[in-house]
Amino acid sequence: MIFKKIIAAFLVLLSVSAFAQENLIVNTHNRKQVSLNGTWHYIIDPYETGFYDYRYKEKGEKDPEAYWNNPEPHGKTDRKEHGYSDDYTIQVPGDWNSQDDVFKYYEGTVWYQRTFDKPKLDKNERVFLYFGAVNYEAHVYLNGKKLGMHKGGFTPFNFEISQEMLEDEGNFLVVKVDNKRYADEVPTLNTDWWNYGGITRDVKLVITPQNFIQQYAIHLEQSQDIEKSIKRKKFNISGYFKLNGPNTSSEEKITIEIPEIGLKEKVESNASEGSFNFDAKKLELWSPENPKLYEVKFTLGENILTDKIGFRKIEVAGKEVLLNGKKIFMRGISIHEEIAPEARRAKNSADADKLLGWARDLNVNMVRLAHYPHNEYMTRAADSLGILVWSEIPVYWTIDFKNEGVLKKAKKQLDEMIIRDQNRASVIIWSVGNETPVSEARTRFMKSLVMHAKEKDNTRLISAALEVGYNRGKNYIDDPLGEYTDIVSVNEYLGWYGDLPHAKVKSKWETAYNKPLFFSETGAGAKGGFHADKETRWSEEFQEWYFEETLKMMENMPENFMGLSPWILVDFRSPKRNNPKFQEGWNRKGLIDNQGNKKKAFFVLKKYYDEKEKEDQ
Ligand code: GCB
SS3 316: strand
**The pLDDT of residue 385:** 98
Beta bridge partners of 241: 216, 274
Confidence of residue 251 (pLDDT cuts 50, 70, 90): low
**The pLDDT of residue 218:** 98
Q: Helices in 200-324 by DSSP H: which ranges? A: 226-232
The percent of residues above 70 in pLDDT, for the chain, comes to 95
Whose alpha carbon is nearest atom 1 of ligand 1? 491
> What does the pLDDT average to over 205-213?
97
Question: What DSSP element (H or E) covers 381?
Answer: helix 376-385
Whose alpha carbon is nearest atom 7 of ligand 1? 491
CA–centroid distance, residue 411 to ligand 1 (Å): 23
Phi, psi of 101 (to 5 degrees): -55, -30
- Residue 286's identity, in one-letter code, is W
d(C-alpha 242, C-alpha 215), whole Å:
5
Cα–Cα separations (whole angstroms), residue 315 to 10, 305, 383, 480, 597: 25, 29, 18, 21, 37
Cα–Cα separations (whole angstroms), residue 135 to 10, 346, 394: 37, 13, 12
CA–centroid distance, residue 612 to ligand 1 (Å): 25
* Secondary structure in 3-state letters for 116-160: ECCCCCCCCCEEEEEECCCECEEEEEECCEEEEEEECCCCCEEEE
Confidence of residue 11 (pLDDT cuts 50, 70, 90): very low
317-364 pLDDT per residue, tens = 999 999 999 999 999 999 999 999 999 999 999 999 999 999 999 999
Ligand 1 pocket residue status of 589, Cβ below 6 Å: yes
Ligand 1 pocket residue status of 491, Cβ below 6 Å: yes
First vs last C-alpha separation in the chain: 40
d(C-alpha 479, C-alpha 341), whole Å:
38
434-454 pLDDT per residue, tens = 999 999 999 999 999 999 999
Nearest partner of 30 among 293, 344, 236, 357, judged by Cα: 293
The percent of residues above 90 in pLDDT, for the chain, comes to 90
Rounded to 5, what percent of the chain is helix, strand, coil?
20, 35, 45
CA–centroid distance, residue 129 to ligand 1 (Å): 36
> Around Cβ 610, how many Cβ atoms within 10 Å?
13
The verdict on whether omega for the bond into residue 44 sits within 30 degrees of 0, i.e. cis, is: no
> Around Cβ 455, how many Cβ atoms within 10 Å?
11
In the chain, domain spans = 2-22+210-311, 38-74+81-92+94-200, 316-616
70-121 pLDDT per residue, tens = 878 889 999 999 999 999 999 999 999 999 999 999 999 999 999 999 999 9
Cα–Cα separations (whole angstroms), residue 550 to 434, 544, 604: 21, 10, 10
Q: Is 489 left (phi over 0), alpha (psi -120 to 50) or beta?
A: beta
Fold of 38-74+81-92+94-200: Jelly Rolls (2.60.120)
CA–centroid distance, residue 567 to ligand 1 (Å): 7
Ligand 1 pocket residue status of 435, Cβ below 6 Å: yes
**The pLDDT of residue 14:** 36
Of 39-53, 133-147, 251-265, 544-558, the range with the lowest mean pLDDT is 251-265
Answer for the pair 320, 562: CB distance below 8 angstroms, yes or no.
yes
Give the mutation target among 195, 431, 491 for probing the ligand 1 site: most ligand atoms within 8 A of CB: 491
- State the greatest distance between any 2 C-alpha atoms of the chain, in Å, as a whole number: 83
168-190 pLDDT per residue, tens = 999 999 999 999 999 999 999 99
**The pLDDT of residue 4:** 41
Fold of 316-616: TIM Barrel (3.20.20)
- pLDDT reading at 6 higher than 80: no
For the CA of 520, the nearest atom of ligand 1: 8
499-550 pLDDT per residue, tens = 999 999 888 999 999 999 999 999 999 999 999 999 999 999 999 999 999 9
Cα–Cα separations (whole angstroms), residue 476 to 317, 320, 509, 535: 22, 19, 6, 27
17-61 pLDDT per residue, tens = 333 368 999 999 999 999 999 999 999 999 999 999 999 999 999
**The pLDDT of residue 22:** 81
Question: What DSSP element (H or E) covers 433?
Answer: strand 427-434
d(C-alpha 579, C-alpha 582), whole Å:
6
> What does the pLDDT average to over 584-593?
98
Ligand 1 pocket residue status of 400, Cβ below 6 Å: no
Ligand 1 pocket residue status of 573, Cβ below 6 Å: no
Helix axes 540-554, 600-616, angle to 10 degrees: 20
Beta strands in 485-560 (DSSP E): 488-491, 508-511, 517-521
Whose alpha carbon is nearest atom 10 of ligand 1? 192
Confidence of residue 247 (pLDDT cuts 50, 70, 90): confident
Ligand 1 pocket residue status of 521, Cβ below 6 Å: yes
SS3 600: helix
Nearest partner of 380 among 17, 21, 132, judged by Cα: 132
d(C-alpha 214, C-alpha 534), whole Å:
56
What's the CATH architecture for 2-22+210-311?
A: Sandwich (2.60)
Nearest partner of 120 among 30, 27, 207, judged by Cα: 207
